[in-house]
């Protein structure tokens, strides 16, 4: 059984189109991922399949009604954890993604308008997840951010497992710079160490680059990992980054 993903949205095509491509599309075909997109309108009310209504207490905008989402969950019995993407949620990051990737699957409900009726969150949702401190027009893009970040951590989804190991955040550091051919591109050449064939030096250089970049851009991450080890300090000095 692959990793199961159940997505609920009133714009299912956005999600379907995205998940048909690239690694996710391939993982779907190979059975590694089992993604189903449910159109909430299928459970909409009345002839027009209405899914929203005006808010009690007044105010601007509409709210997604509880009925269609409750009915959808009753029928589908979606996999847990059941997430609602929302600016009020827990901040999504690598650790959150890694935890989800270790499970058997996940369900994501995408909000639209002003959001969903609170009873949906209280009764059906295990966790609210935010992808950042800004407000999107709808949950679909946030949902895809979560799907992509989680699925690429699932074994088999990324062909070359090694490519995950040194990535930003996994090591607590930002990733070193990459280069590919040509060696000389418009007068800018690739750092010598990368063509030296000396693997030890290459990995030292990459670590130094990661450390320097993280110190410069994300000192909070350096603090989180408890600074630099003596060996790392030694390397930074060797490469002329500190004295």
Q: Which residues bind ligand SAH (CB under 6 A)?
A: 85-88, 110-112, 114-115, 130-132, 134-136, 138-139, 142
Residue 169 to residue 220: CA distance in whole angstroms: 12
Residue nearest to ligand SAH (CB): 111
> Is 66 or 111 the residue whose CB approaches ligand SAH more closely?
111
Residue 157 to residue 208: CA distance in whole angstroms: 29
Residue 37 to residue 84: CA distance in whole angstroms: 15
**Least distance between ligand SAH and beta carbon 73 (Å):** 16
> Is 44 or 139 the residue whose CB approaches ligand SAH more closely?
139
**Least distance between ligand SAH and beta carbon 109 (Å):** 8
Residue 8 to residue 4: CA distance in whole angstroms: 13
Q: Which of 160, 193, 156 is nearest to 26 (CA)?
A: 156
**Least distance between ligand SAH and beta carbon 166 (Å):** 28
> Is 58 or 162 the residue whose CB approaches ligand SAH more closely?
58
By the 8 A CB rule, do 89 and 139 touch?
no
What is the SS3 assignment for 109? strand
**Least distance between ligand SAH and beta carbon 136 (Å):** 4
**Least distance between ligand SAH and beta carbon 83 (Å):** 10
**Least distance between ligand SAH and beta carbon 168 (Å):** 21
> Is 34 or 114 the residue whose CB approaches ligand SAH more closely?
114
> Is 136 or 153 the residue whose CB approaches ligand SAH more closely?
136
> Is 109 or 207 the residue whose CB approaches ligand SAH more closely?
109
**Least distance between ligand SAH and beta carbon 122 (Å):** 15
Residue 180 in tokens: 């590919």
Long-range contacts of 207-212 (CB under 8 A, 24+ apart): 207/176, 207/232, 207/235, 208/235, 208/236, 208/239, 208/241, 209/176, 209/177, 210/171, 210/173, 210/174, 210/175, 210/176, 211/173, 211/235, 211/236, 211/241, 212/236, 212/241
> Is 132 or 191 the residue whose CB approaches ligand SAH more closely?
132
Question: What is the residue-wise DSSP string for 48-106?
Answer: TTB-EEPPTT--SS-EE-HHHHHHHHHHH-PPSSEEEEEEEEEEP-HHHHHHHHHSSEE
């Amino acid at each position: 059984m692959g990793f199961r993903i159940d997505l609920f949205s009133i714009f299912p095509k956005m999600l379907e189109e995205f998940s048909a491509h690239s690694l996710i599309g391939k993982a779907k075909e190979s059975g590694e991922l089992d993604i189903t997109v449910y159109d909430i309108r299928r459970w909409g009310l009345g002839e027009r399949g209405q899914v929203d209504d005006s808010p009690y207490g007044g105010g601007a905008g509409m709210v997604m009604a509880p009925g269609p989402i409750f009915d959808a969950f009753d029928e589908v019995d979606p996999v847990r954890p059941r997430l609602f993407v929302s600016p009020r949620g827990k901040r999504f990051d690598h650790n959150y993604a890694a935890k989800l990737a270790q499970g058997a699957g996940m369900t994501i409900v995408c909000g639209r308008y002003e959001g969903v009726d609170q009873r949906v969150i209280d009764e059906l949702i295990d966790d609210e997840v935010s992808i950042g401190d800004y407000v999107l027009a709808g949950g679909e893009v946030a949902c895809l951010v979560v799907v992509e970040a989680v699925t690429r951590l699932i074994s088999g989804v990324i062909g070359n497992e090694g490519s995950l190991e040194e990535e930003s955040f996994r090591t607590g550091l930002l990733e070193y710079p990459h280069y590919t051919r040509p060696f000389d591109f418009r007068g800018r050449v690739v750092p010598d160490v990368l063509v030296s064939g000396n693997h030890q030096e290459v990995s030292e250089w990459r670590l130094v680059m990661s450390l320097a970049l993280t110190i410069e851009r994300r000192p909070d991450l350096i603090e989180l990992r408890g600074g630099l080890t003596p060996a790392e300090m030694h390397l930074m000095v060797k490469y002329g980054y500190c004295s």
